[in-house]
């Protein structure tokens, strides 16, 4: 599949991509640094988050990119248990999380109830 933007892909194989994601995670753990989406993008050699998101358009990379995002999301989720989790809440909202509660209520009206007046 050709690159939709026209520039050459940084990763030709899913295996190379997944290996670099694993290395990023291991390096962060070893250096006691947080795992972040922008950190992963830079580590992988991308110049923007959108450049990595473009790999979702390649069927062979789509699952691997989703797993990488899920890994980062999991790290932010772990931070929610900390005392100051405001930054993690903000980051998770960028991953699609919402902090609102939605209540649905269904009321059933029968013929007997509508003819009482």
Domain ranges of the chain: 14-114
Whether residue 69 contacts residue 37, with contact meaning beta carbons closer than 8 Å, is answered with yes
Q: What is the pLDDT of residues 18-57, one digit of tens each?
A: 999 999 999 999 999 999 999 999 999 999 999 999 999 9
Does residue 4 carry a pLDDT above 60? no
- For the question of whether the overall pTM of this predicted structure is more than 0.75, the answer is no
Query: Smallest Cα–Cα separation from 44: which of 63, 28, 60?
Result: 28
DSSP 55: G
Q: What is the pLDDT of residue 105?
A: 77
Residue with tokens 């690159």: 3
Main-chain dihedrals φ then ψ at residue 111, nearest 5 degrees: -60, -40
Residue range 96-113, pLDDT digits in tens: 666 666 677 788 776 665
């Amino acid at each position: 599949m050709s690159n939709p933007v026209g520039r050459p892909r940084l990763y030709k194989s899913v295996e190379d991509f997944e290996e670099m994601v694993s290395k990023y995670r291991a390096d962060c753990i070893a250096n006691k640094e947080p795992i972040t989406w922008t950190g992963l993008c830079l580590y992988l050699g991308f110049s923007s988050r959108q450049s990595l998101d473009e790999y979702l358009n390649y069927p062979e990379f789509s699952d691997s990119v989703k797993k990488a995002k899920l890994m980062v999301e999991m790290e932010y989720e772990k931070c929610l248990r900390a005392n100051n989790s405001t930054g993690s809440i903000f980051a998770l909202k960028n991953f699609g999380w919402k902090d609102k509660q939605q209540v649905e209520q269904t009321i059933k009206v029968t013929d007997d109830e509508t003819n009482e007046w």
